[in-house]
Each structure stands twice: as C-alpha cells, then as structure tokens.
Amino acid sequence: MAGNRAVVYKGSGNVAVEDIQYPELILRDGPGVNPKNVGRKCDHGVILKVVTTNICGSDQHMVRGRTTAPAGLVLGHEITGEVIEVGRDVEFIQKGDLVSVPFNIACGRCRACKEQHTHVCLNVNPDRPGSAYGYVDMGGWVGGQSEYVMVPYADFQLLKFPDKDQAMEKIRDLTMLSDIFPTGYHGAVSAGVRPGSTVYVAGAGPVGLAAAHSAQLLGAAVVIVGDLNPERLEQARSFGCETVDLSKHDNLGEQIEQILGVPEVDCAVDCVGFEAHGHGPQHSEAPATVLNSIMQVTRAGGKLGIPGLYVTGDPGALDEDAKIGTLKIRFGLGWAKAHTFVTGQTPVMKYHYELMMSILRGRAQIAKAVNATVISLDEAPQAYAAFDKGAARKYVIDPHGILKK
C-alpha cells in the first residue's frame, strides 16, 4: 500500500509535514473526529491522488490558535485531484477523472442539499449543519493538504473537468474552484453586485481578491478594496481595483468619497472575519470593525455579503463575549438602513460549474488575481509562516511535483 504525507496542525503557531494513514473508504478515529462519525462507511466515496491543495486563510485561523482545533488535525479543504479508487456505490465518477472537490461536504440526500444549501448539509456533521475537510468542529473528515485523500458522496459532489489536458493547462485557476473563487463570487452575488455597481471589498487576502475579481466579472463599475497591508493592496491594484490603505486612514467613508465623489457604495463584501483590526495608524484587534464599517458605508437598501469567517469558539479573543462569537455590532444601523445580510459558508456547488466554464473559456483569470504560487508539500510550513506575515500570495501545494513552477 502507498504511503501518505500531510500537513498536520501541531499546536498554536506550528504545522509540520508528517506521515499519516493512507485513506480508506471509511472514516477512522483520529484528532477532531466526532465519535458519532467514527467507523462511518463511505462506499459512495473515492480516493484521490491530490494534484493541488491550497493554503486558506481559514486554515490560518486554526494555526494561530484562534479556534478549538485539536493538535494532530490534518489540514486542508481546498482539493483538486485524480480519482484512483472508487467505492462500490459510485456510478458516474471513474478512475482517472480529474476533479474539483467542494470544500463543503454534502450528502445530496437531505432537505438542505436538495435546496442547494450544501453548506449546511444535515447528515455529515453530528454536531451541527455543515462540514468541511480538515477543519475544527466539522465532523472530523480528514484534510486534503496531503498526497492522498478520501472524498465521500463522490457522484453528487465532485466537479469533473471535461478534458484533463486542458484542465492541467489551467490548473492554477481551476484549483481555486474548491473554495476561494466560489466564496469570493458568493460574497459578490450576495451583496447584489450587478453591472454598474460600486462595491467595497473589506480585505485583500486571497478571498478578498477573489471577491474583487468576481465583482468585476459581474459588471461592477468600481471595485474598492480596503486593507492594512500595502503589498496586498498593490496586488488588488494589479487587476484594476481602487484601494484604501486602512493602516493610514481611520475614516473609510472619507476615503470612498475621494474615489467616488460620495461617501458610500452600493454594496459591500466582508472578506476579513473575526480577526479584524480597527483602522488607522494605531490599529489593534477589534473583531466587529469590518461589520460596522461596511454598514456605515453601504447605501440605504444595500446588501452586505459576509463570507468572512466568524466562529463560535475563539480562545484567543480579547474578551469573554468574543470568545463565544458575541461581538459589538451596530445592528440598529443596519436595521435603520434596511440592509440585507448574507452570512455563512459558501454553497460551492451552486457556482463551481459556471466558474469552471469562465476559466476554461478565458473569461476569468483568478490565479493572476490572487497571485497563485506553487510550492511543494515540504514547503508548506514556511508558506504558512509567510502567509501569517501577510504575503500577497495564494499558496498552491503540489504534493507530487506534477505542476510546472
């Protein structure tokens, strides 16, 4: 039997590449596996040889020690791979298929899945609706920053690329279909972006850049990206976004007015989440900052897309309320302005086919927008450290050395 190596969370600030068990079509006990999921048979699943697997900002929250993730958890929920084994109940996916794996694990059978709410599947996580690979409190499904991984419910979930050779030519773009491209797109769609819209995107990390590019694809007239990191803001400008350096300015409305002539936008997207900082030269952590600021600068009747991660357990939070996800949000302001809020994980399957076609037909250049950077599996710990320091890159792990750098 083949070996398997993976990126493993070792405790706050520490990841390592280690040997782990080769995947089977069953969920074995291990770090973070819900006891009710132990021994769960997955004859509806497949084993993938991982072609690409990406480092996500959501992974970084765990690695910083800002969640209740247990040491030993295998990381990684952004997976693209080749099918090398199929379960006996798999009918349509075949060995040799090159596929994108939605980060949401979804059964396809429950009420939520049938209504396209695959981000809150009712059958894959005994604790609460919704699940993901290699993530805290998500049922314990083994992560995919590895050489091989098991994916359940293959016929329902997997997006098969129509031509393997064509897909490998576009693999740096297509690898983004597992999470950040649909997530950024969902944020823009939830915010109501349409032709002619003015849009504010909070955060110039990979998801923020994906949201900005998505807003452009949807026809936005102006996309403004705000961040505290000059290097990431430069990346946003590289594909036509306006930017606001929030490390220098504490009044977001004034900065938007300098760009648009008015201190408000039609809609806004929060791509920061619960580790938000305040604005200005003396900024420090203030987790409700982005939510309050986008309410402030979004016009009355506007929509707010909130794909940024907010958690129910944050042991590193500033106060006892924030440790359980209770933040000081100016909800009255949002109510008075009749804002629409859309939150939660992204239902990847709702969008990934159309975004795949946009990539294959040359309409979307998401790899360029997020500065996709290919690394080896052994380079993952250094990439986590660089990403934590604000590198303006989306790290794409190539576990088998298949891609050209």
**pLDDT given at position 222:** 98
Q: Within 10 A of 121 (CB to CB), how many other CB atoms are there?
A: 25
Of 87, 106, 84, 109, give the one whose Cα is nearest residue 97: 84
**pLDDT given at position 1:** 53
Q: How far apart are CA 400 and CA 81, in angstroms?
A: 11
Q: Map out the domains of the chain as residue ranges.
A: 5-179+347-398, 180-343
Q: How many CA atoms lie within 13 A of 356 on its CB side?
A: 25
Q: For the stretch 70-79, what's the b/e string if a residue is b when 16 or more beta carbons lie within 10 angstroms of its beta carbon?
A: eeebbbbbbb
Share of the chain above pLDDT 70, in %: 100
**pLDDT given at position 2:** 75
**pLDDT given at position 70:** 94
The rounded mean pLDDT for the chain is: 96
CATH topology (fold) of 5-179+347-398:
Quinone Oxidoreductase; Chain A, domain 1 (3.90.180)
Question: Tens digit of pLDDT for each residue in 47-56?
Answer: 999 999 999 9
pLDDT greater than 80 at residue 404: no
Share of the chain above pLDDT 90, in %: 93
Q: Model's pTM, two decimal places?
A: 0.96
Q: How far apart are CA 126 and CA 37, in angstroms?
A: 7
Q: Which CATH superfamily is domain 180-343 in?
A: NAD(P)-binding Rossmann-like Domain (3.40.50.720)
300 contacts 337 by C-beta, under 8 angstroms: yes
* Angle, alpha carbons 384-390-392 (nearest 5°): 95
